[in-house]
């Protein structure tokens, strides 16, 4: 399940639902990305998506993860719009027979979502707003999987 939401969400009920009824799963890894205040430097984060296109691109990438790590299931929920510090931005969960695959797939999906997924990010801080391009670190993260 891949979805975008402009409403705040709580990762807990998503994890509960994802873990339910899995007598043959064994391993569920999850990642929750939270907006950081950066000591007051960032007041509001704004994420823009291209509805339809963004989900489709993420979905196509998720299929590569499902195959590569032999996942039983995965879930991606991504916040868009204006996000305050401490609020969840993204939740990813992966289900596999064994924990190595679940961890690696979750890590892989996050590297993609943080570096190449079709979002445009604006930070509103004390000195105004600025568009953010991916950091060199994000490109290095995704390059690990080549």
Partner 1 sequence: MARILLFGRLSDIAGWREKTLEPAPARLSDLRALLAADDAALGEALAAPGVQVALDQVLVRDDAALSPRSEVAFLPPMSGG
Given the rule CB under 8 A, which residues bind its own copies? Answer: 10-17, 19, 21-34, 36-39, 85-86, 88, 97, 99-100, 102-103, 106-107, 110, 114, 141
Question: Which of its own copies, partner 1, none sits in contact with 118, Cβ below 5 to 8 A by type?
Answer: partner 1
Burial of 16 (0-12, 13-18, 19+ CB in 10 A): exposed
Question: Which of partner 1, its own copies, none sits in contact with 113, Cβ below 5 to 8 A by type?
Answer: partner 1
Burial of 31 (0-12, 13-18, 19+ CB in 10 A): middle
Question: Which of its own copies, partner 1, none sits in contact with 78, Cβ below 5 to 8 A by type?
Answer: partner 1
Write out the binding residues for partner 1, residues 118-137 only, by CB under 8 A: 118-122, 131-134
Antiparallel, parallel or unpaired: β 44-49 and 81-83:
antiparallel
Q: Is 117 one of the binding residues for partner 1 (CB under 8 A)? A: yes
Q: How far is CA 71 from CA 26, 38, 54, 102, 128, in A?
A: 11, 35, 22, 7, 43
Half-sphere exposure of 95 (CA within 13 A, CB side): 18
Min dist CB 138 to partner 1, Å, is 6
Q: Is 115 one of the binding residues for partner 1 (CB under 8 A)? A: yes
Task: Convert residues 12-31 into a mask of x (bound to partner 1 by CB under 8 A) and - (unbound).
Answer: --------------------
Q: Could you tell me the sign of the dihedral formed by the alpha carbons of 80, 9, 31, 28, in that order?
A: negative
Q: Is 145 one of the binding residues for partner 1 (CB under 8 A)? A: no
């Amino acid at each position: 399940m891949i979805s975008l939401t402009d409403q705040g969400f709580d990762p807990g009920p998503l994890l509960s639902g994802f873990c339910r009824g899995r007598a043959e799963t064994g391993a569920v890894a999850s990642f929750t990305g939270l907006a950081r205040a950066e000591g007051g430097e960032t007041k509001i984060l704004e994420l823009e998506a291209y509805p339809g296109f963004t989900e489709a691109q993420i979905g196509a990438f998720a299929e590569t993860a499902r195959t590569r790590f032999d996942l039983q299931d995965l879930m991606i929920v991504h916040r868009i719009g204006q996000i305050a510090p401490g609020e969840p931005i993204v939740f990813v969960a992966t289900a596999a027979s064994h924990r190595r695959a679940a961890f690696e797939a979750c890590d892989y999906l996050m590297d993609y979502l943080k570096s190449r997924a079709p979002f445009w990010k604006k930070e509103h801080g004390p000195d105004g707003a600025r568009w953010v391009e991916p950091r060199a670190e994000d490109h290095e993260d995704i390059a690990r999987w080549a």
